Structure 1
Amino acid sequence: MPFIEHVSDSDLERLALERVVPALLARGFHFVDDFLGELAGGVVLDQVMEMHRSGALQDGRLAGSVNGVHRRSIRGDKIAWVGGSERGCEAISFLLNLIDKLISMCARRLGKKAIRERSKAMVACYPGDGAGYVKHVDNPNCDGRRITCIYYLNKDWNAKEHGGVLRIFPEGKSYVVDIEPLFDRLLFFWSDRRNPHEVQPSFSTRYAITVWYYDSEERAEAKRRFRDLKASVKQGDGSACREETSPPAV
């Protein structure tokens, strides 16, 4: 049943307290299907597809470079960063506001960490030519990212034919978790080393919108470290102190 068709603060709170919070604490991940419903989810998809058609999506960057390693062998997505106020992104903004409200209800029950801000939304497309993303951790170095949220936009997706599965390797577990990138599915998981994950090769165009919610104290400390490092660089092109502007795609 589409969640958005009967959404209210009490519905969101029930979803947060009865499903998302217990799952994050017990397993480290959770997903909700039919989050916006066919109509609203379809409008979000239309806006993302228009971004793709218009050339707004560009090759995803890497935080650093490795000699002899081609970027596409690590990540093959095309991305754009969206704040939500841009023209033509009204439905994306609606989605972000709803996720913000849901996460704020979860945050109060997820321990003492203060989750008060998030990244811009990363609109991502894997173009369907076998592109994927190798196994990685979103926040391996305490950059502040606490919770990763991904909204998938792929209608009639068949993982056996199209690939594109997000595979999670829960820390300390002997199993893996495969998440199919199905239309109107919203996924949550811890961003740190508890959840290494990969995007398996996609053989059909695959769309997703990702946002990261920050631990405020860890984020402030990461910014302080970056400022200190930047100040210590006196010569050269400053590449050693570039802050990561393109978090790993999911």
Structure 2
Amino acid sequence: MRISTQSTNFEELVDHIAEHGFCVINDFLPEATVNALANEAQRLKHTQVMQEAGIGREHLNVNKEIRGDSIYWLDEGDATEAQRSYFGQMENLRLELNRHLYLGLFGLESHLAVYPEGGFYKKHLDCFAGHNPQKPQRKISCIVYLNQGWHMQDGGQLKLYLNETDESDKYKSILISPLAGRAVIFLSDTFYHEVMPTYKERISLTGWFLSRPQQ
């Protein structure tokens, strides 16, 4: 399902998440913000500030057979103008999700990611197995794409698995192209997903809303 709008309709967005657990929306960020964030990612890559992404929670291991992107974690206290625009939109989303779905979201962690030509990320969940309930956990994932002029032959689609536990149709999935300004929002502990091999450089900005730890 896909919503195309010039201004984000949060009510419709939240309704989709409540009913289906995920939503795909175009124009989540203004074009100028998307372009500025893409340029920032390029500069970070060229100045070698980005780090190879790892696998795991506390002890990260770089494994290029599983994922091949480089990342840069954002700091809201030291944000650029474009990053502040992103953080503002994410705060609007957090408030709406809490207001209508009572998720108790209280924090956000975000990183820019650059996949080189040939890069991919194998099937995974964003919520770690065997998590400690006394620590904050990822509850909602929001991937925003920053790729202008992207075409089907460029690959790099997000493959979202819709019903992993449904034995009648176990492998049902959808492919979502990483078009500039598009956001994919889904429950972090529910939807397995993967990044298909990309045939040119691919840039995204992923944020995770955190739930409060149990007392």
Q: Tell me, yes or no, if the aligned pair for 1:80 and 1:123 is still in contact at 8 Å.
A: yes
Q: Does 1:132 align with 2:120?
A: yes
Deviations 1:208-246 (A, max 9, x none): 011100111xxx24xx8xxxxxxxxxxxxxxxxxxxxxx
Q: Does 1:16 align with 2:20?
A: no
Secondary structure, counterpart of 1:109 in structure 2: helix
The residue identity in structure 2 corresponding to 1:99 is M
Deviations 1:45-66 (A, max 9, x none): 22222112211111001117xx
Q: Who is 2:33 aligned against?
A: 40
Structure possessing the higher radius of gyration over alpha carbons: 1
Q: Distance in 1 between matches of 2:194 and 2:19?
A: 21
Secondary structure, counterpart of 1:131 in structure 2: coil
Q: Distance in 1 between matches of 2:100 and 2:112?
A: 28
Q: Distance in 2 between matches of 1:58 and 1:117?
A: 23
Tell me the CA shift for residue 70 of structure 1: 7.3
Q: Tell me, yes or no, if the aligned pair for 1:43 and 1:91 is still in contact at 8 Å.
A: yes
Q: Distance in 2 between matches of 1:74 and 1:31?
A: 25
TM-score normalised by the chain length of structure 2? 0.84
Q: Distance in 1 between matches of 2:150 and 2:28?
A: 17
Deviations 1:63-108 (A, max 9, x none): 17xxxx9710001000011113336x32012211211122211222
Q: Tell me, yes or no, if the aligned pair for 1:115 and 1:213 is still in contact at 8 Å.
A: yes
TM-score normalised by the chain length of structure 1? 0.73
Q: Tell me, yes or no, if the aligned pair for 2:14 and 2:96 is still in contact at 8 Å.
A: no
Q: Distance in 1 between matches of 2:29 and 2:206?
A: 16
Listed as ranges, the matches of 1:52-201 within 5 Å are: 52-63=45-56, 71-86=63-78, 89-111=80-102, 113-119=103-109, 121-128=110-117, 130-141=118-129, 142=131, 144-159=137-152, 161-171=153-163, 172-173=165-166, 174=169, 175-192=172-189, 194-201=190-197
With over 3 angstroms needed to count, the CA separation of the structure-2 counterparts of 1:208 and 1:116, relative to structure 1, is same
More helix by share: 1
Secondary structure, counterpart of 1:42 in structure 2: helix
Tell me the CA shift for residue 206 of structure 1: 0.4
Tell me the CA shift for residue 21 of structure 1: 1.2
Unaligned runs of 5+ in 2: none
Q: How many residues align?
A: 199
Q: Distance in 1 between matches of 2:15 and 2:56?
A: 33
Q: Does 1:2 align with 2:6?
A: yes
Tell me the CA shift for residue 185 of structure 1: 0.8
Q: Tell me, yes or no, if the aligned pair for 1:20 and 1:106 is still in contact at 8 Å.
A: no
Unaligned runs of 5+ in 1: 4-11, 225-250
The residue identity in structure 2 corresponding to 1:165 is Q
